[in-house]
Structure 1
Amino acid sequence: MKQQVFNLRNLTCAIFSTLAVTSFNTQAAVSEEEAHLLGNTLTPIGAEKAGNADGSIPSWEGGLTTVIEKGQNPFSDEKPLYVITNANKDQYKDLLSPGQIALFNKYSDTYSMPVYQSHRTAALPQKIYDKAKANALTATVKNGAAANFDEAVPFPIPKTGEEVVWNHLLRYRGGTASRDIMQAAVQSNGDYTPVKMSDEFIFPWYMKGGFDPKKDENILFYFKQQIKSPARLTGTTLLVHETLDQISQPRLAWIYNSGQRRVRRAPQVAYDGPGTAADGLRTSDNYDMFNGATDRYDWKLVGKKELLIPYNSFEFSSVKYDDLIQAGHVNPEHTRYEKHRVWVVEATLKEGERHIYAKRTLFVDEDTWQISVVDHYDGRGEIWRVAEAHALQYTSATVPWSAGEIIHDLQSGRYIAMGLTNEEKPVNFEFQASHKDYTPSALRRNAKR
């Protein structure tokens, strides 16, 4: 049964768009004939079901559904098909992003990519497949925001770059998640201070008591993040009400500062505002590869291509932090790259808008809608930062997500590793919360405990 959350929201969006039709661009949904491809020649969320011509990308057969416990690697017996180094990278340049090539040039003596047999392990719950097919017939972009969709994957057959980005923003990551994570801003010599955090998110229709039309209208999800260590940062807590239409209602954010012992609004937690405890190595909208409002960029859909991307990162997620983190980049011995098809989207900063990244090129995994690689360019047109999400299928909850994100700063020779859970307890995808847990007063109470 379709949930009321989007019926109510869609009604509001429809009325708003009708009143503003001369001002805002509206993109139409696909035809019934196109939507019929989902589950046939396309996977239920829009990837090409067939493999590629030479078989190096296999067909999708439903993904990995056998439960794999934390620390286990179902592909531990496999060996790399080949290893790319700076010496042979030109042989594989068509399968690499410009940013990935720049990493070989920057770290010519130490950087490598072990490339393994590709496995299309992405699997989602049946309800998400059903909703994606329905969304294909109804979803639109209005006022820069996705509208007229139910829960996840609004555009399984995208026509524009902005629709691809909304598929990433609205991809299924479980309805709720709570986790302990480690973040490391790694200096050029390999030194780092681990920052331990707990974070959680919950989409409003998974709240205790369900969706509340008075509180949840235009809310995409609620997010909370608290720093556990080091001592100088302990207790600092971020609360976010992530809005869907951030043009008419910008993201709502509050920070509890443990030193000042007060809650204050945090409008800087957006766009190129500084990331939490990131030592200047990422922006707010770098988190989750890209997040937040889309209005400062023009989004061009370039098309699809085959790319070597971090995938099935079971080993990456299980080794000790000190074994993974080293100078310049993470230890290549614990990474795994596979050939997959990706959507390519170019984001160019609009004239008159401000952001430290003048251009971003996004490479989006067709099987999950998760951004896999992003090349970030500065105002001179030079590649500045290269981000990679090390993909992982969380089989216990049927959730494709990542085992961590790495953002390399080519100019400083530093990088930041985010969202690592290697030495932490398993992610809890059955986390429950209510609206009262995501108020500024609750933030204050929680931080003082």
Structure 2
Amino acid sequence: MHISKKWGPVAMLGLAVVTGSALAKTTADQAARLGKDLTPVGAEKAASKDGLVPAWTPGTQHGKLSGEYAKDPAVEAEKPMFTITSANMDKYADYLSEGHKYLLKTFKDYKMNVYPSHRNVAWPDFIYKATAKNATSCTLEGTDDPDNCELGFPYPVPNNGAEVIWNHRLKWRGDNVVRNNDQMIVDANGHYQLAQLVEEVQFLYANKENPVPLKKGKGLFLYYLSKIMSPARSAGTMILVHESAGTGATGRSAWLYAPALKRIRRAPAVCCDNPYEGTDGQQFYDQVDMFNGVLERYSWKLLGKREMIVPYDNYKISRAKYDDLAHQNHLNQDLPRYEYHRVWVVEATLRPGQRHTYAKRVFYVDEDSWDIVMVDCYDAQGALFNFQEGMLTPQSNVLTVFTVPEIIYHFDSGRYFVTALQAQGRPNDYAAKFPQGYFTAQAVQQRATR
């Protein structure tokens, strides 16, 4: 990987690859920086020395919990400062992911419109308080067992790459949400197949009303249920997940309801590089939400922090019609918005004896939201194989952030996959409530066969 001259000083510390033993907690002196030179969740408050990344100016909570798409009229009214193309990409190479470089080199019409940067991401006060407590109490056993963590970001001053990924996985997203998740498989000519899902999620760890702490061996942190609405051939298929930290018997539990069989059964293959149902192999289970699988198959190395041009404040594209999004070879690049931001860079390398389609992944994680915004995915020969891009969009009604939509470029086939689309469905409903026992296999079976 090209190492940019814009790496921050953290990159020079020789940060460790995660091992199987517990790693040291953040020191009290490090934790004391939260809310001072660091934001309450661990980002640098100050602007970058070159001024490309501004200082943190947190936004405020506003908007309804249901019935509204995220928007920011002032940001949306801005014009691009400049556009990156194949002709001038060398000038910006230090700020680009390998995936973006590949797209710029390969498709002469591919471009990146770069806008003024904003650092308005904010979180509720109870997340700030819980994060401060976690900073000195929460540890990580191996790669998959957070211990003694509650409600907030577990590792605001990360010591290794796995901790950065857990910050992404455990971030506050509201107590509950019902969301439309429309998906497109787009061929090289720009023609697409559309699938529609409804997803219901109850967050247990990052839950304001009743947070469930994470202890080693007791790591249940959310319930997830998806139902495929279309196309007709897979409509009615449901996936139920009890998402837990840990691996094996203490890790993720999943069930699949098949309409043809009219019954729900355990689904041990809801993991890793097994294809998500209904995606025609275009999305692995561990690519949902950019990454959400077990970490044990990889060694995780924190390379440091870097200034980069990343998708950000993508209010417009999150509301775009699907016909306007689909384009030959790549997304319609008139729509995405890119900005300068600082990101954590994490390299995941497949461990000896383990198997996965991706032998290496490089994750780019926004410092303000701990959201994964880009992933370079490499095959066993070391070639760039896929590229994931998440259009980061703040959600001011609950003070959280989502990547809406997310794109997976398949460089071998020329197809690309777009997920987390909502504009032709309904906005996220954060006011949703689920009764006790709603996310059990028995309850799903009963509802499906009524």
TM-score w.r.t. the length of structure 1 is 0.90
**Cross-structure match for 2:9:** none
**Cross-structure match for 1:431:** 432
SS across alignment from 2:370 = coil
In structure 2, C-alpha distance between the alignment counterparts of 1:152 and 1:269, rounded to whole Å:
27
Structure 1 pair 290/209, CA: closer, same or farther in 2 (3 Å)? closer
Superposed displacement of residue 408, structure 1: 0.4
SS across alignment from 2:131 = helix
- Percent of pairs with identical residues: 38
Deviations 1:5-42 (A, max 9, x none): xxxxxxxxxxxxxxxxxx95001211111111000100
**Cross-structure match for 1:98:** 98
In structure 2, C-alpha distance between the alignment counterparts of 1:24 and 1:92, rounded to whole Å:
39
- 4+ residue segments displaced more than 6 Å: 207-210
Which residue identity lines up with residue 26 of structure 2 in the other structure?
V
**Cross-structure match for 2:45:** 49
SS across alignment from 1:431 = coil
**Cross-structure match for 1:399:** 400
**Cross-structure match for 1:27:** 23
In structure 1, C-alpha distance between the alignment counterparts of 2:347 and 2:308, rounded to whole Å:
16
**Cross-structure match for 1:360:** 361
Corresponding position: 1:194 with 2:194: yes
Contact 1:263/1:440 (8 A) holds in 2 = yes
In structure 2, C-alpha distance between the alignment counterparts of 1:296 and 1:212, rounded to whole Å:
25
Superposed displacement of residue 232, structure 1: 1.4
In structure 2, C-alpha distance between the alignment counterparts of 1:212 and 1:55, rounded to whole Å:
39
Contact 2:95/2:309 (8 A) holds in 1 = yes
**Cross-structure match for 1:306:** 307
Deviations 1:59-91 (A, max 9, x none): 002235454952644222211000011111111
Superposed displacement of residue 112, structure 1: 0.7
Which residue identity lines up with residue 131 of structure 2 in the other structure?
A
SS across alignment from 2:317 = coil
Corresponding position: 1:178 with 2:174: no
Structure 1 pair 59/258, CA: closer, same or farther in 2 (3 Å)? same
**Cross-structure match for 2:121:** 122
Of stretches 166-175 and 294-303 in structure 1, the one that deviates more from structure 2 is 166-175
Superposed displacement of residue 210, structure 1: 7.6
Within-5 A mapping of 1:340-355:
340-355=341-356
Which residue identity lines up with residue 135 of structure 1 in the other structure?
N
Contact 1:376/1:384 (8 A) holds in 2 = yes
Number of residue pairs matched? 424
Of stretches 389-398 and 59-68 in structure 1, the one that deviates more from structure 2 is 59-68
**Cross-structure match for 1:151:** 151
**Cross-structure match for 2:6:** none
Of stretches 75-84 and 426-435 in structure 1, the one that deviates more from structure 2 is 426-435
Superposed displacement of residue 212, structure 1: 11
Structure 1 pair 212/113, CA: closer, same or farther in 2 (3 Å)? closer
Unaligned runs of at least 5 residues, structure 1: 1-22
Structure 1 pair 433/187, CA: closer, same or farther in 2 (3 Å)? same
Contact 2:270/2:285 (8 A) holds in 1 = yes
Superposed displacement of residue 367, structure 1: 0.3
Contact 2:282/2:417 (8 A) holds in 1 = yes
Unaligned runs of at least 5 residues, structure 2: 1-18
Contact 2:134/2:153 (8 A) holds in 1 = yes
Deviations 1:421-445 (A, max 9, x none): 1122210112221341111111222
**Cross-structure match for 1:379:** 380
**Cross-structure match for 2:133:** 134
**Cross-structure match for 2:322:** 321
**Coordinate RMSD, CA, aligned:** 2.0
Contact 1:28/1:139 (8 A) holds in 2 = no
Which residue identity lines up with residue 444 of structure 1 in the other structure?
Q
In structure 1, C-alpha distance between the alignment counterparts of 2:165 and 2:77, rounded to whole Å:
35
Contact 1:161/1:300 (8 A) holds in 2 = yes
Contact 2:151/2:211 (8 A) holds in 1 = no
Contact 2:173/2:398 (8 A) holds in 1 = no
